[in-house]
Structure 1
Amino acid sequence: MRIHICAVGRLRKGPERELLDEYLTRFDRTGRGLALGPAQLSEVEDKKGGGMAAEAALLQRAIPDGALICTLDERGKVMSSPSFADKLGTWRDQGRQDVAFVIGGADGIDPALRAQADASLSFGKMVWPHMLVRVMLSEQLYRAASILAGGPYHRA
């Protein structure tokens, strides 16, 4: 099952980018034998200043046809890491070919795109910078693959 992280904004070189790349590499390595991955990052940028609606249109183009859409949103479901791992495993076992995790810009995700989502995930009641959410998601993807593989990374 291919993973697509579709996000507004470009993550430049720096510690966040290094962490993102490291966790996605770990996820790809750990997930390969579990039919999880590869993971890819698709970044979009609204250079014309069209707001959330314009960002949503760009994100829609980045989401593969037929992909399960999971938004990262403060109104989403808060899950434990093992529950998230189970959810990924369930989507894989249901035959999903692609899962797109959608991360909005500074103002969030356009309501029309949120309404199209199959699932919505929250990293808690606090609002996180959208650049950090990529890193947090990539770490949780790696943690989920490690949990499903029975590896030692996650210690409950």
Structure 2
Amino acid sequence: MSLKVHVCAVGRMRSGPEKDLFDEYLTRFDKTGRALGLGPARLHEVEDRKGGGMSAEAALLQGAIPGGAVVCALDERGRVMSSPEFAQMLARWRDEGRGDVAFVIGGADGLAPELREGADAALSLGRMVWPHMLARVMLSEQLYRAASILAGSPYHRL
């Protein structure tokens, strides 16, 4: 069984360096993770065109999350973990037979409390605040790094 990865995010990523990096790391993740039962990874973008705020964004994000998926909210209040800890978390979900994991990234104001509190896990990329487009890039790099760690690749060095 493979753990499919879904990055569910508010906003559209335009062409440019962030999109190029995001796509590159997801491609690397897919190639490295395939033999490990990780992936593929897909991006699901949602936009609140009516200006309904965090609650409207949360409803759109909920619609993008596959049924039964493990939900991991990216949030500054989430758990800060090392790359090997992140890799082990993914491996645990895979080994438990979970079919999907959805990493949820909010818009400029973050995630609505009801979505954040209802998540199975919350992950922080550190105590600094990052633009949400860069958060996508950082997540995609960590997904690739996690697959590399689990594969025993020299990409990750302690």
TM-score > 0.5 by shorter chain: yes
Matched residue, 1:35: 37
Shift of 1:72: 0.3
Partner SS state of residue 96, structure 1: coil
- Mapping of residues 45-84 of structure 1, within 5 Å: 45-84=47-86
Separation of aligned partners in 2, 1:18 and 1:131: 11
**Aligned partner letter, 2:55:** A
Partner SS state of residue 157, structure 2: coil
Matched residue, 2:104: 102
Q: 1:86 aligns with which of 77, 85, 88?
A: 88
**Aligned partner letter, 1:26:** R
Q: Percent same amino acid among aligned pairs?
A: 74
**Aligned partner letter, 1:141:** L
Q: Deviations over 1:1-43 (max 9, x none)?
A: 1000000000000000000000000000000000000000000
**Aligned partner letter, 2:136:** R
Count residues in correspondence.
156
Separation of aligned partners in 1, 2:106 and 2:140: 16
Partner SS state of residue 30, structure 2: helix
Shift of 1:115: 1.4
- Runs (4+) of structure 1 exceeding 6 A deviation are none
Residue 22 of structure 1 pairs with residue 31 of structure 2 = no
Could you list the runs of 5+ residues in structure 1 that have no partner in the other structure? Answer: none
**Aligned partner letter, 2:67:** D
Matched residue, 2:131: 129
Q: Deviations over 1:51-107 (max 9, x none)?
A: 000000000000000000000000000000000001100110011100000000000
RMSD: 0.4
Separation of aligned partners in 2, 1:58 and 1:36: 26
Separation of aligned partners in 1, 2:130 and 2:88: 24
Separation of aligned partners in 2, 1:132 and 1:76: 17
**Aligned partner letter, 1:86:** Q
- Mapping of residues 2-13 of structure 1, within 5 Å: 2-13=4-15
**Aligned partner letter, 1:124:** G
**Aligned partner letter, 2:7:** I
Matched residue, 1:112: 114
TM-score (norm 2): 0.98
